[in-house]
Structure 1
Amino acid sequence: MQTNPTHTSLVAVGDSFTEGMSDRLPDGSYRGWADLLAGRMAARTPGFRYANLAVRGKLIGQIVDEQVDTAAAMGADVITLVGGLNDTLRPKCDMGRVRGLLTEAVERLAPGCEQLVLMRSPGRRGPVLERFRPRMEALFACIDELAERHGAVVVDLYGAPSLGDPRLWDVDRLHLTAEGHRRVAEAVWQALGYEAEDPRWRTPLPAALPPGWAVRRAADLRFAQRHLLPWIGRRLTGRSSGDGLPAKRPELLPYEG
């Protein structure tokens, strides 16, 4: 990996994690780690260009069908690909199909860029996701194999103690807070060979007393009403939170922050 490289363009491919939920800006839009990373890269390189094709709720098949060829054709220096985790959270998930589609995505993207970046997505500690961890870890094993085969960089967010802390996750328990996204941007920045701005991004937050039983139960009830039940409803009706939404930044254009 080149130290302190100069990249002129970045294309981000994926789902809500790459779109930037839940790093909400005052105007209601989302920022997220990919925007933060692009801002850092643009500060070093005049004329730096950035596209973000990510759309919330997308499965790996939709990412392959709707984003991959577009991203590959842009000829960017760096392409990031994060996908497949939404598939592992579905009640019925064919991991063989997920591996096949992820392989197809990597095989299309790797020849079209200077550096492909893959990620082992962060995992929040807690009982809700425990049943899905074997699928998640199977997905990450596939990512590691593909990276080795195609010369991609893997950013291991899953193994970072800091990103497992519930305090870095939004109330929906599926998306990182602004601080979580900042740490992810730092992780990718370092993985690309840039000098660390925050060497302690993996470091856990200071210990704090856990909230009391009543506070936890009230939070569980709000989570179920506002997030879990709507999520289940979309699964039962075959809908997605990203239905009808356009890509975040569909064209590879100069990034002005």
Structure 2
Amino acid sequence: MWDAFVSHAGEDKDEFVEPLAKELENYGLNVWYDDFELSVGDSIPDEIQRGLHNSDYGVVILSEAFFEKSWTQEELDSLIQRDVTEMDKVILPVCYDITPQDVLSHHKLLGKRYLISGDSMSVSKIAQELYQEILENRTKPLTDDGLEEFDPETLDYLAEIIGDIKQGTEIKKFFERLNFEIDWDDAKEGSIHEWIATFPVEAKEKGIDLESARKSTILENLKELNNEDPSNIISIVEKLAHPRHYIENDKDRAQVVEKLNIILKWEDLRIVDQGEVKKLT
């Protein structure tokens, strides 16, 4: 029901825990966090147990205050029991105003695990790392047999993104790398495609919408690729998402990946592992 249950001490709520919970939700995760889930009249122990048992992961915010509370220890014990019985990683520990060495003195099991440091990373970076960890464990490699055809609306938005990034001959070369040729020279004299290819200034003066025409051309080719072999669309997305294909700047690439992931969630797909596209389990 929830992607992650956030276990924390109240003292850490305002400055760290709530901003982190909101960042996780901004990534599209369904988060059990008391201020998000509890309503007037709810039985707090019952709702907490429901959250603990119906969340895939427990994001545990470790601090001095956390180790001083009995209820946080009970939440941790419940998550540890799941971690052991399910034989899978359930606990995602985050240090807040406490060192890993201090955690080891409080709890030997957690102290031996990899701990995300809230003191050396920003809240947004911590949320990103937690998101990737959750995502990695919820995805599986794509297979051609298991890939259904994309919704036409998804192709339309992919065309928008490719059209925003690439222009003119770049688009031709991009599709050629996919062994799919766009015949830019086949247009008749005076046609919109000829104006785009050879006379962009004149085309603009004639009132031709270059951006719409370019994206329309991309969309037509995407649809044709999709009809021939839907897995080719995945190849396109992976080439868009991988920095070596056209983006050297990590910040620019991250923005593109963010846009693509918003679209791909409609297809239960996500970009992980340096541009590899996987299907959510």
Give the TM-score category using the shorter length.
0.3 to 0.5
Q: Which has the larger radius of gyration?
A: 2
Of the two structures, which has the highest relative contact order with CA contacts closer than 8 Å and spacing of 6 or more? 1
Higher helix share: 2
Normalised to the residue count of structure 2, the TM-score between the two structures is: 0.33
